[in-house]
Chain A
Amino acid sequence: MAERVRVLRTAKLFIGGAFPRSESGRTFEARGADGTVLANVALASRKDVRDAVVAARAAQPGWAAATALNRGQVLHRVAELLEGRHAQLVDELVATGVEPDAARAEVDGAVDRLVWYAGWTDKLTQVAGGVNPVAGPFFNLTVPEPVGVVGVIAPQRSALLGLVSVVAPALVGGNTVVVVASEARPLPAVTLTEILATSDVPPGTVDVLTGSVAELAPVLAGHLDVDGLDLTGLAGVDGVDRVALETAAAEDVTRVLPPPAEEPDFHRTPRGVDRIMAFCDLKTVWHPKGP
């Protein structure tokens, strides 16, 4: 009997809960550590960025209005489904050159990180907000509110744990996210989109683009409908003018989380709510006390 021909996956973008090819029709080859071609991956264009931002903007009010409990449950469910794809993700990480033990630890870490952030949704207000003492007959309350649509450049080396560690905190606060996945290791991000599509994450809440960071980052930074920009993934990327990105972002007062000098070790537990609050505003309201 002839040997069976394996059916290969088409790695596509994730926009508005659907899996379109790039509007430009372009693809690039994702290669393993040994140079073998792992898959043809969609090479996103500026119009894909636009479409993703439109989808994220449309989804944002609904996601922000969901109860904290509900957002927590949704993030927890992503963790559950990630657990179910454990073996596949380990294989994908190993193919990019990660040692098997380290790959297993990375997937474990990604699941745990999601659970950790899922727990924060209904605790954020207590920790970051507060009741302020004021000299008058008023309740004075401070509560964190999401900035809106956050553009994220995902870490280049830690293709899964790093990705989860930058996306989840933005979601916790009620933001929707447009992510540019690791350029050299896009496949774990593509698998994550397939998990997101079958979880309870509303369409458009997370939109994932694969492609050139140097091409996509300036479009995302200049986009007037993007309210926050997480540049963590620029660590270790050459050929991107960070000052230009921040200047473009400043045009419409986009919150920018600047890139660290080198990619952090994402296995370390995050420092409290720092990453969540990077894309939240604090709103203070005065409410008269009743008689």
Chain B
Amino acid sequence: MAALVLPDLDVDPRTLGDGEAALTAFLRGLPGVDRVGNERRAAQLATRSLKQDTKRALIDLAIRTVDLTTLEGADTPARVRSLCARALRPDPADAEVPPVAAVCVYPDLVATAAEAVAGSSVRVAAVATAFPSGRASRTVKLTDTREAVAAGADEIDMVIDRGAFLSGRYGAVADEIRAVKEVCGDAHLKVILETGELATYDNVRRASWLALIAGADTIKTSTGKVSPAATHPVALVMLQAVRDFHLMTGEPRGVKVAGGIRTTKDALRHLVLVNETVGADWLTPDRYRIGASGLLTDLLLQRQKLRTGVYGSADRVTLD
């Protein structure tokens, strides 16, 4: 395993106490990200060549890690049901294609989705806490979460308060994550950092640690509503945080990249980043997810191409 990004620390970051001062001191004390080096490292890993067998395996893995997402104002129960059907069996013509990891919907459609995927391995994720802006009172956010969990959500994707984070009120952000985590109960909590609004890699690193310390089961790049979203350098910084957190505390946490990943090539590059940063243990849907909607079509097309040797057509893949 590669060396820690962090200097040796005797403190367990989870035991910083509730005081905002200790948390702030810890986050501010994190080493800065070398922007040029980080981007170069990410770009370099993107050039790794993958042999055909590896590609075959990684495409299936990518399909298993997809959070099939629909987050539109125009979503209807029927659309969510058809999305779920696709999640359960992505390629109707080929039963060997594994189901995706989860479907990701707005809270009001959780019940519909939960009913549609009941009894399968596909989980239901709900975006909550006034997604995507997070601009609502704590009460509203907690109610949003509570209702989603009650309706049957297995996973909650919450957004952090970027306004509070950017103005340095780290304690407020952490408190909110802890409060949501408590309401989640057994549901898996993914914390969306919305890296496109955090401006610097240093902020991405701080936000990642903040979320991990506050109890996020998974840290997630973006809502998908802001661009840039899941870029490789940002994913790299977040994966490093998860790796170091694991080395310091022994607790494995997950990462989810979401937003702007549309091609198989891009998805496989993200998987290479994971393997090279946190290691192969993270190449599982329990610890790594790709949030996407259009990506699944391309994954299926590339899968068909590898099997038949003939380039496919989007006309031959089911719509969601």
Chain A residues proximal to chain B, CB less than 8 Å: 49-50, 53, 57, 219, 222-225, 248, 251-252
- How far apart are the CA atoms of A53 and B310 in the complex, in Å? 13
- B 274-315 to A, binary, CB cutoff 8 A, 1 in contact else 0: 000000000000000000000000000000000001111111
Is A50 a contact of B313 with CB atoms below 8 Å?
no
Shortest distance between the CB of B146 and any CB in chain A (Å): 44
**Which of chain A's residues has its CB closest to B263's CB?**
A54
Taking chain B's interface residues, is the majority helix, strand, or loop, or is none over half, making it mixed? Answer: loop
Interface residues on B, range: under 10
* Interface residue from A219, A224, A248 paired with B313 (Cβ < 8 Å): A224
Q: In the assembled complex, how far is the CB of residue A108 from the closest CB belonging to chain B, in whole angstroms?
A: 39
A selection of 13 A-B contacts at a CB cut-off of 8 Å is A53-B311, A222-B309, A222-B310, A223-B311, A224-B310, A224-B312, A224-B313, A224-B315, A224-B316, A225-B311, A225-B313, A225-B315, A251-B310
Inter-subunit contact B314/A225 (CB<8 Å): yes
Minimum Cβ distance to chain B for residue A250 (Å): 13
Residues of chain A within 8 A (CB-CB) of B316 are 224
Q: Are B311 and A222 in contact (CB under 8 A)?
A: yes
Q: Which of B309, B311, B316 has the most CB of A within 10 A?
A: B311
Question: Is B311 a contact partner of A252 (Cβ separation < 8 A)?
Answer: no
Question: What 15 new A-B contacts, CB under 8 Å, besides A224-B313, A225-B311, A225-B313?
Answer: A49-B311, A50-B311, A53-B311, A57-B314, A219-B311, A222-B309, A222-B310, A222-B311, A223-B313, A224-B312, A224-B315, A224-B316, A225-B312, A225-B315, A248-B310
Q: How far is the CA of A219 from the CA of B312 in the complex (A)?
A: 11
Contacts of A49 in B (CB 8 A): 311
Q: What's the Cα separation between A248 and B315 when bound, in Å?
A: 17
Contacts of B309 in A (CB 8 A): 222
Q: Which residues of B contact A248 (CB under 8 A)?
A: 310
Chain B CB within 10 Å — which of A50, A57, A224, A252 has the most?
A224
Q: Are B310 and A223 in contact (CB under 8 A)?
A: yes
Nearest B-chain residue to A220, judged by Cβ: B311
Shortest 3 CB-CB contacts between residues of A and residues of B: A225-B313, A224-B313, A222-B310
In the complex, how many angstroms separate the beta carbon of A133 from the nearest chain B beta carbon?
35
For A227, the closest partner residue in chain B by CB is B313
Bound together, the chains give a CA A248 to CA B309 distance in angstroms of 12
Q: Which residues of B contact A225 (CB under 8 A)?
A: 311-315
- Closest CB-CB distance, B264 to chain A, in whole Å? 12
Q: Which residues of B are found within 8 Å of A224, using beta-carbon distances?
A: 310-313, 315-316
Query: For residue B313, which residues in chain A have a CB less than 8 angstroms away from its CB?
Result: 223-225, 252
Q: Which residue of B lies closest to A46 (CB)?
A: B311
Please measure, in the bound complex, the distance between the C-alpha atom of A248 and the C-alpha atom of B314, giving whole angstroms.
Answer: 18
In the complex, what's the smallest C-beta–C-beta distance from B306 to chain A, in angstroms? 13
Residue in chain B with minimal CB distance to A222? B310
A49 to B310, CA, bound (A): 12
Nearest-neighbor residue (CB-CB) of B316 within chain A:
A224
Task: Determine how close the nearest CB of chain A comes to the CB of B94; give it in whole angstroms.
Answer: 15
Residues of B218-264 at the interface with A, using a CB-CB cut-off of 8 Å, are none
Distance between Cα atoms of A50 and B306 in the complex (Å): 14
B95 to chain A, nearest CB (A): 21
A180 to chain B, nearest CB (A): 15
Give Cα distance in the complex from A214 to B315, angstroms.
27
Minimum distance in angstroms from A222 CB to a CB of chain B = 4
Q: How far is the CA of A53 from the CA of B305 in the complex (A)?
A: 14
Q: How far is the CA of A53 from the CA of B309 in the complex (A)?
A: 16
Can you name the residue of chain B whose Cβ is closest to the Cβ of A224?
B313
Shortest CB distance A204–B (Å) = 15
A68 → B minimal CB distance (Å): 26
Minimum CB–CB distance for A122 against chain B, Å: 29
CB distance from A209 to the nearest CB of B (A): 14
Please, which residues of chain A bring their CB within 8 A of the CB of B311?
49-50, 53, 219, 222-225
A223 (CB) vs chain B CBs: closest residue: B311
- Min Cβ gap B311→A in Å is 5
> What are the residues of chain B within 8 A of A57 when measuring CB–CB?
314
Give Cα distance in the complex from A223 to B316, angstroms.
12
Which B residues are in CB contact (< 8 Å) with A50? 311
| Nearest CB in chain A to that of B304: its residue | A224
CB distance from A63 to the nearest CB of B (A): 18
Q: Which residues on A sit within 8 Å (CB–CB) of B315?
A: 224-225
Docked complex Cα distance between A12 and B312 (Å): 26
Bound form: Cα–Cα A53–B311 in Å: 10
Q: Which residue of chain A is the closest to B305 with respect to CB atoms? A: A50
A53 and chain B: residue at smallest CB distance: B311
Q: Which residue of B lies closest to A50 (CB)?
A: B311
A85→B313 CA distance, assembly (Å): 37
Q: In angstroms, how far is the closest chain B Cβ from the Cβ of A127?
A: 30
User: Which A residues are in CB contact (< 8 Å) with B314?
Assistant: 57, 225
Q: How far does the Cβ of A225 sit from chain B's closest Cβ, in whole Å? A: 4
- Chain B nearest CB from A54 CB (Å) reads 9
Most buried by A among B309, B310, B316: B310
**In the complex, residue of chain A having the shortest beta-carbon distance to the beta carbon of B314:** A225
| B312 to chain A: closest residue by CB | A224
A268–B309 CA distance with the chains assembled, in angstroms: 40
B312 / chain A contacts, CB cutoff of 8 Å: 224-225
- In the bound assembly, the distance between CA atoms of A53 and B314 in angstroms comes to 12
B204-225 to A contact mask, C-beta < 8 Å, 1/0:
0000000000000000000000
What are the residues of chain A within 8 A of B310 when measuring CB–CB?
222-224, 248, 251
CB distance from A174 to the nearest CB of B (A): 18
